[in-house]
């Protein structure tokens, strides 16, 4: 059992494991070297050997407490036959797809399209670099995936048009959710021993739609994950009511964004908490980084807590600042283990 799973199972409250969202990727010079020669991002996510190499880069550099598979939440639309490309300085661009495309998608075809992802996980899990560390697989939340599929780009644009047909959204969420469940199942069977659900756009949902768009669909994913004896971390970014979400969806760990006051959330949530620190802190200086990191560690010192950020590591982050961050967390753990 890795340290994350110890925290999740509440067998260890004092030590604080650390892994970072987007720890494998764009801020690391070794990743940028690979990316320079591999311009097609989806193709890179399907390259078994390179996925293994990229996933293990931050583990070899920093000895973090968990590896997270190098992949993307948009692998599900890709698996469903929707064209997905990443345009520099713009983000993802998706092709056209409709409800019938999803309804008529054979499961075997979907799984075959994503087979390299599962093979990568199997290879990573066997690698001696990981040893007893946890391997985190992940998916996008049904709401977030559907937004990308309908909007064909970041939901920051044209959102009102996308949300005009409520019945269509509910119908499509049901079908998309089925394939997300398949993706979770295959990741676990391939070696993932923790699953994180990234609902990056949960904060855009109005209260009247939360039950149908976010709570119930995500609850099904959590239930499946836990039925496979695998802990589930949920990250409903910018959602307005984390305690309500936690109570209804029932994840093993709730991951908070950087707009959340950690002291207030601590009083309202009993399950293990993850994250919270603004990734921009890593762009400041060591003094500020130490102060902010210790603030989070101190707030959660008597609560099961996984140190992480409130969003992904930013591309302009200096790797030496990540190294210093890990040293601060390790120093805290050293003190805690002696007490």
Write the pLDDT tens digit of every residue in 6-46. Answer: 777 766 677 899 999 999 999 999 999 999 999 999 999 99
What is the model's pLDDT at position 99?
A: 76
The pTM score is 0.94
Euclidean distance between CA atoms 304 and 15, whole angstroms: 8
pLDDT at 213 over 70: yes
Report pLDDT digits (tens) over 268-293.
Answer: 999 999 999 999 999 999 999 999 99
Report the mean per-residue pLDDT for the chain.
92
Domain extent for 64: 3-338
Output DSSP code: residue 239: -
Q: Per the structure, how many domains does the chain have? A: 1
| 8 A C-beta contact, residue 290 and residue 258 | no
Count the alpha carbons within 13 Å of 108 in the hemisphere toward its beta carbon: 0
For 153-158, the CB contacts below 8 A with 24+ separation are 153/90, 153/91, 153/92, 153/93, 153/94, 154/91, 154/92, 155/201, 155/204
Banded pLDDT at 329 (limits 50, 70, 90): very high
| Interval 259-267 mean pLDDT | 96
What is the model's pLDDT at position 9?
A: 73
Whichever domain contains 20, its CATH number is 3.20.20.210
Instruction: List the one residue out of 251, 182, 253 whose CA is nearest residue 218.
Output: 251
| Interval 206-226 mean pLDDT | 96
Tokens representing 80 are 């469903």
Report pLDDT digits (tens) over 140-175.
Answer: 999 999 999 988 776 655 555 556 678 888 888 999
Report pLDDT digits (tens) over 228-252.
Answer: 999 999 999 999 999 999 999 999 9
């Amino acid at each position: 059992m890795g340290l994350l799973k110890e925290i999740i199972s509440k067998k260890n409250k004092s030590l604080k494991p650390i892994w970072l969202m987007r720890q494998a990727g764009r801020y690391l010079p070794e990743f940028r070297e690979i990316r320079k020669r591999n311009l097609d991002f989806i193709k890179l996510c399907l390259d078994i050997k390179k996925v293994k190499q990229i996933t293990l880069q931050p583990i070899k550099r920093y000895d973090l407490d968990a590896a997270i598979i190098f992949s993307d939440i948009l692998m599900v639309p890709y698996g469903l036959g929707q064209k997905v490309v990443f345009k520099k300085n713009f983000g993802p661009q998706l092709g056209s797809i409709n409800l019938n495309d999803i309804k008529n998608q054979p499961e075997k075809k979907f799984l075959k399209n994503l087979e390299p992802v599962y093979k990568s996980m199997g290879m990573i899990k066997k690698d001696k670099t990981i040893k007893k560390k946890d391997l985190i697989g992940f998916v996008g939340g049904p709401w977030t995936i559907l937004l990308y599929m309908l909007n064909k780009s970041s939901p920051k644009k044209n959102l009102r048009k996308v949300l005009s047909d409520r019945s269509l959204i509910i119908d499509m969420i049901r079908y998309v959710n089925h394939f997300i469940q398949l993706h979770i199942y295959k990741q676990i069977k391939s070696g993932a021993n923790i699953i994180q659900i990234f609902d990056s756009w949960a904060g855009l949902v109005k209260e009247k739609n939360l039950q149908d768009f976010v709570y119930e669909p995500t609850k099904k994913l959590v239930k499946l994950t836990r039925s496979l004896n695998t802990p589930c971390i949920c990250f409903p970014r910018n959602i307005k009511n984390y305690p309500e979400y936690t109570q209804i969806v029932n994840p093993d760990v709730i991951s908070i964004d950087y707009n959340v006051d950690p002291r207030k959330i601590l009083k309202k949530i009993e399950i293990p908490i993850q994250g919270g620190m603004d990734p921009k802190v890593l762009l400041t200086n060591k003094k500020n980084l130490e102060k902010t990191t210790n603030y989070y560690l101190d707030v959660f010192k008597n609560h099961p807590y996984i140190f992480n950020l409130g969003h992904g590591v930013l591309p302009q982050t200096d790797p030496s600042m990540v190294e210093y961050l890990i040293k601060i967390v390790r120093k805290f753990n050293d003190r805690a283990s002696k007490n």
